[in-house]
Amino acid sequence: IVPYKYGDQISMECKDIEGKWKRGPICKENKQELNVFYGRDSPLYCGILVDELEFKRIKEVLYQNSSWECRIPVSSDITENIYIPISIQLWGYTTGDHLDITNHYNFILHVENDILIGASLYP
């Protein structure tokens, strides 16, 4: 297992509506997937555009009828295919065809010898 180094990019994969793994949320500002960087403690803004199917899915997550399941690699070598599960919890409300979701989240990584052993993402 290849340890992370300070500043390494950590990408997230999430299940799509059909339950298949795909890239994590894409940020509309830079058209890249939501990433964090190993060892950095800094704010990050990522606005996410959603289509009608994703809108319905996000509403279900908001109402706690389903979950948004994701995963991150335990090491910087993603070819090892070893992941830590992480669930994105949403807090907010819906008004018609509009979502108001909190945009302040904490992404906490637990490591041992620069290998991920746990993670949490919460509002």
Look at residue 85 in the predicted model and tell me its pLDDT: 96
Q: What is the 3-state secondary structure (H, E, C) of the chain?
A: CCCCCCCCEEECEEECCCCCEEECCEECCCCCECEEECCCCCCCCCCECCCHHHHHHHHHHHCCCCCEEEEEECCCCHHHCCEEEEEECCCEEEECCEEEECCCCEEEEEEECCEEEEEEEEC
Contacts of 70 (CB under 8 A, 6+ apart): 12, 13, 14, 15, 24, 85, 86, 87, 88
Give the other-Cβ count within 10 Å of 47's Cβ: 10
Residue pair 122/102 in contact by the 8 Å Cβ criterion: no
Look at residue 78 in the predicted model and tell me its pLDDT: 80
More confident residue, 71 or 122: 71
pLDDT in tens, 7-48: 999 999 999 888 999 998 898 888 988 889 999 988 888 888
Model confidence at 71: pLDDT above 90: yes
Nearest alpha-carbon partner for 17 in 47, 45, 59, 72? 59
pLDDT in tens, 95-122: 888 888 887 888 899 999 999 999 998 8
pLDDT average, residue stretch 81-98: 89
Return the domain boundaries, the chain: 9-122
Model confidence at 93: pLDDT above 90: no
